[in-house]
Amino acid sequence: SDLQKQVERGELLQPLIFVLLVLCSVLLYFKVSLMDPGFVKPEEEVKEGENKGQGVVIPQIPGDIKLRRCGYCLVKQPMRAKHCQLCQHCVRRYDHHCPWLENCVGERNHPLFIVYLSVQLVVLLWGGHVAWSGLYFEQSWEWLQHNIFLLVSFLLMFIFTIVVLLLLVSHLYLISCNTTTWEFMSHHRISYLRHSELENPFDQGIILNLWRFFC
């Protein structure tokens, strides 16, 4: 049959991989949006140096800066935690609240968020390539009528690709510096950064920063 011949020639391999990537992207979306981003539980006791990834750099932070109690949920906030008023929880290593996910990006789901962006970028680039390969430009109204949806889909994929690419690059840069979006944007308002002798007391070098984040 024709289907068997296509399988033998490997013509169905690329569409199959593309469908699997789309499925993987959807599963990652639900995983990141539904999982606990690192909520600080009320019953947890915050101890000095509990964050293993920061043990080397905590001594560089002034000793007079004490862990404070959140004014909203009344839990003792660990270093780098922040209260999210949309989620109504304090989140460990808070990065930002993502409106597309309707969830915070924090200590637990930040690595998966990066994986999700990476897979999404591959899907968009692949889909954009397929849409572009199907365009054969002709200067006629009839051609435009037949290809209007293809042109719109290509334009949307181009816009989303730029957005996802910028998000991924910016997050990878911040991760390589061992800082978060919240710390980067609000450096002047965060006590442990404002009173620190170093501009970023958590930076341990690009390689170690990436290793600690992903591994």
Catalogue the active-site residues. 98
The residue among 202, 194, 183 whose CA lies nearest residue 54 is 202
Residue 118: partners with Cβ closer than 8 Å, 6 or more residues away: 168
Residue type, 99: P
2 exposed, middle or buried (CB, 10 Å; 0-12, 13-18, 19+)?
Answer: exposed
- Interhelix angle 141-176/206-214, rounded to 10 degrees, is 110
Residue 45: partners with Cβ closer than 8 Å, 6 or more residues away: 76
Torsion of CA 174, 178, 180, 184, to 10 degrees: -70
Given a contact cutoff of 8 angstroms between Cβ atoms, the answer to whether 141 and 72 are in contact is no
